[in-house]
Copies of this chain bind each other. A is one copy, B any other.
Amino acid sequence: MILILKSNVTDEQVQHVLDRVESLGLKAHLSRGTYRTIVGIIGDEEKLRALPLHALPGVLDVIPVLPPYKLASREAHPRSSVVEVGSAEDCRVKCGGGHLALIAGPCAVEGWDQMQRIGRAVKQAGAEILRGGAFKPRTSPYSFQGLGEDGLKILRDVGGEHQMPVVTEVTDPRCVEMVDKYADMMQIGARNMQNFVLLTEVGKTDKPVLLKRGMSATVADLLMSAEYVLSQGNPNVVLCERGVRGFDAKVTRNLYDVAAVAAVKQLSHLPIIVDPSHATGQPALIPPCALAGVAAGADGVHIEVHDRPEEAKSDGAQALLPDQYAKLVIQIRQLATLLTDSNAVDEGATQ
């Protein structure tokens, strides 16, 4: 931690700052420059974060030198984590560390027939994990809110039939146990990324968690939310970039942030996938943005697929048709191969 003091700081104020730091058993390192006095603090930054250093008289700025997320940081855990989704041996899917996971399905579970048709279609197209929402967090209280436990059962059955693990969103801490029973992966939606109560609950399970980035979350915010889950003892966190709030929603809806994907790969060992469906909301933009995410280093792609978009009860307009999805999967796989090969060449070259 570094403290930058005000230009008009008094000697008493400097001494007070040093006293406070040392009262915590840490060492302070004073450096007087021409225009500014700086205090470097050596020791456990966690202790310091608890202290309102900004409130000390004479302090202009407080600059942490370590990331506030410890368990999520690559510094603490240099090797990329691999998260396994699915418990049955014949349908376990890996995400991270070179394993690209393809997740697809409709926005909402609308009924058995719909899930069967779409489940079969995405399986044939090459998807590995089936998605479908049973609890829908809708902006309007008047919109379709999902089928609840009935939806979970349908999802579970259809997943089983097609040997695909299933992922579905959980929105209520009181439902975590129920969702955990049916799902192979629990999704925390963007609007709940900082619902710390919910994060703590899913952290108490050992079920893989798909944690979507909130619309105004910085990369550090996202990693801190992952830290909530990790700190409860659940190491199975997969992050998801799905666009942040931008100023041109009419054209690109959310601002799809592929540089954040590349940055997360530097800062954290956790896998991160992309969701171009929610990011762009337009079928014409989804395939190029899916490929862009993979090119940026994503460990998976999440796509909404519906065979009858104009009848969908939720987000029909942003769904790809099964044919469009099938074509996209081919391109994604080719691109992933290209990247793996060229990185392999590269690693070979640097040995």
Which residues 276-330 of A sit at the B interface, judged by CB distance below 8 A? Answer: 276, 279-280, 284-285, 288-289, 291-297, 309-313, 315-317, 319, 327, 330
CB-defined contacts of A256 to chain B, threshold 8 Å: 257-259
| Complexed CA–CA distance, A141 and B194 (Å) | 11
Which residues 31-63 of A sit at the B interface, judged by CB distance below 8 A? Answer: 31, 33-36, 38, 40-46, 49-57, 63
Given contacts A36-B65, A192-B195, A295-B292, is CB(A280)–CB(B259) below 8 Å? yes
| Complexed CA–CA distance, A184 and B98 (Å) | 43
| Size category of the binding interface on chain A | 35 or more
Interfacial residues, chain A to chain B (CB-CB below 8 A): 2, 4, 7, 20, 29, 31, 33-36, 38, 40-46, 49-57, 63, 65-66, 68, 75, 137-144, 171-174, 191-192, 194-197, 200, 214-216, 218-221, 224, 227-228, 231-232, 243-253, 255-263, 265-267, 276, 279-280, 284-285, 288-289, 291-297, 309-313, 315-317, 319, 327, 330-331, 334-335, 338-339, 342, 346
CB-defined contacts of A257 to chain B, threshold 8 Å: 246, 252, 255-256
* CB–CB B52/A315 < 8 A: yes
